[in-house]
Structure 1
Amino acid sequence: MTVGTAERADRIREQRGWYFYDFACSVYSTSVLTVFVGPYLTSVAKAAADADGFVHPLGIPVRAGSVFAYAVSVSVVLAVLVMPLAGAVADRTGRKKPLLAASAYLGATATTGLFFLDGERYLLGAFLLIVANASLAVSMVLYNAYLPQIAEPEERDAVSSRGWAFGYTSGALVLVVDLVLYTGHDSFGVSESEAVRICLASAGLWWGAFTLIPLRRLRDRQVAAAGGEGAVGSGWRQLMATLRDMRRHPLTLSFLLAYLVYNDGVQTVISQASIYGSEELGLDQTTLITAVLLVQVLAVAGALGMGRLARVYGAKRTILGSLAVWTLILAAAYFLPAGAPVWFYALAAAIGLVLGGSQALSRSLFSHLVPRGKEAEYFSAYEMSDRGLSWLGPLVFGLAYQVTGSYRDAIISLVVFFGLGFALLARVPVRRAVAAVGNPVPDRI
């Protein structure tokens, strides 16, 4: 076997291991964040609410229906404080894998702990949700930072799309099992509440179990100056240097700004869809599960299909097309009639077709805008754009409901994120941005 063939075989082995972290953690995003924890935490908060429908954490009056959205916002703020440090330390020490393991298993443990969310323990549920969501964001910084190291520039759209496809496949598989357990909970000898808590906890166990595969296959790279004593303090200094360095690449920052805006809309739709369906449209949990299952199935095809479109039209144009579709989806959601699952399924199908592709292509496009040797640091900034201002959408959503008591008013406000994100991305000259950081410019981007 030649040296080039051996290197390619090693790279493919790492890529296949890398896919499995999406396979591991995406179950949290689907079963926990998108389907179960929003409506269930809301019901627990309502059980603890006063006669006016408010709970009072730390003496602050909060409408019970806003607790979930606020918890998501707090989790993202916490992640913002930790993600840059994790990225800086990873690049300085070259040891992404131990940090990936720590954040993944902290999140998996917190998710498994949601089994104990019952009665009026809404504060316990909010705390565990905050820990799990923040841990996922930190782990994704480290996971995404492997992409430029395990895939050549011309491979990245395909590799990134396959990773998303793996994630949506696992989400669909687990949702099928969740659906069987939830709809047949009586025949399994458990209550509806117990069935939901088993679904929540099993997502944490799945996350932890399948994380073992990428931890076995991914490898750390040596860096010129390996971190040792004082790595944390040096990491903060390196982070400040990274922020100064990013100012030298204004086109990369322009892409991050655009991504920050439109992705805030995507993340808010993902996290608040089940609340909108259950509370505003009056749909039952079975309908929500099957709708999200439809999203998962179509998202696999959508991620792979948009990956093919990107090879023809370029990643930027394909993403812009998806943002136009997202805007139409939200406009349609505002007018959805209550108690009409068929229309909700139609909306779920449209979301599935654009969800995976818009996320996968954004990740692969950004990988071309990262200077070599600064992958984890720059991907920490990317993850801050992915999660970092994703507190703003849920916060706006929660405040809108707090003030108006209508989830329709909350959902329509998200249109601005997609419209503004489209305008900002359209202005980014991506070919010039790739060349500006010293990377080879692909034929199609």
Structure 2
Amino acid sequence: MTSTYRGSLSADLASLRAERLDRLQALLHGRSLRAVMVHAQGGALGAATRSNACLRLFIDWDGFEAPSTLLVEAGRRTLILSNPFQLRAAQAVAGVDAVVFAPPAMLGETVRELLGISKEDTSRVGQVGWPELQWQTMESMHRALPRLQWEDIASELDHWRSAKAGPEVEALTRAAFLCDEIFSRFPAFLRADREAWRTQRDVEHFALVSGAEYCKTWLTISPAAQGPQYLPHENRRQPVSGDQVLLGIMLKLDGYWGHAIRMGAYIEASPLHRRLHGIVRRMFDAAVSVFDTGADLIGAEQAMGNILARGLEGVPAEAIFRFRNGHGLGLSYEEPRSTAAFPQYADPFDAGRSEPLKAGAGAMFELHPNFFAEGLGGAALGDMIHVTEAGSRRLLRTSLDLQVWR
């Protein structure tokens, strides 16, 4: 892939990927594994894929709408593509010795041939990304390699991603800068004669022509916001003076996520909406105050919950909609391990975790406290937070104050 970065950052990221490939090769040797298979869905799925980040730890490749597989053996690294039209583009990927094509239903047979083993082979092979395998691909693996012993090494690789290296912090900072650029231009896109979905398209188009490889937004324009709105058919409203306006940005710049949320009003803000903003701002500030190296992230979640309970006292729980207050951020929209500290309130099967989970130096988070109260309105603020030995810092420059967009 051709990076939008130039000069030293591009070289530094390439060097970091090369180091990780060597480290993966060492892991293979140390565990006495026959090979390691890293399978990844393409980045076109955006926040819906976790495996995309696993592949981009090691090589600068994204199959976008098509899955790809990196097969690492002792002394050889092969990139297997499921889209034959991407073969020419993949030839220039650094760190790869060969690029081959295999349709999803034939991946197992292709891996067996590349490894030079029989169907009866019982070798141990490390794997990453299998939870996102397509059914036909999984069937192929079982059919072609029924006795191979697969070892999930994802949790070990997750540890490699906890602390961001210097080049990664710079890449994430540039993604944050693009979010700032979008917020600064947003008033020009927001017009009384345009439905909200058209404004979303303007925002996303600006991000893409500015270098983002992916951009997804949610935009809620309503007298009383009741949740994030993503889809065209739920965003037919044109802004009216006094409407709440909340904009969430999720974009990728060369694999690294930029993510932010700002809230405001169109032309004028009501006292109620200012009050809701005050609650969510206090939630944000309370969480940031404990985001130091070694801090218990569960404590940040509890601090936000306590402020919300006081701010919305008397509002029944069933009348409040919430989503996750924060998550790790990096090559994945929700980085593993650190995200678990923040339960996904929109998902009844995700209760988060109750035991302590400490913020490590170098970790990157998206912090976005939020709530939507039936009949009252909603509030959300999101910013990228970098945890350092000296404390934490916001990556975006755009103010967290209530925006009055005209």
- Does TM-score exceed 0.5, indicating one fold? no
Q: Larger relative CO (CA 8 A, sep 6+): 1 or 2?
A: 1
- Higher fraction of helix: 1
Q: TM-score, normalised by structure 2?
A: 0.32
Structure 1 or 2, whichever has the larger Rg, is: 2
- Higher fraction of strand: 2
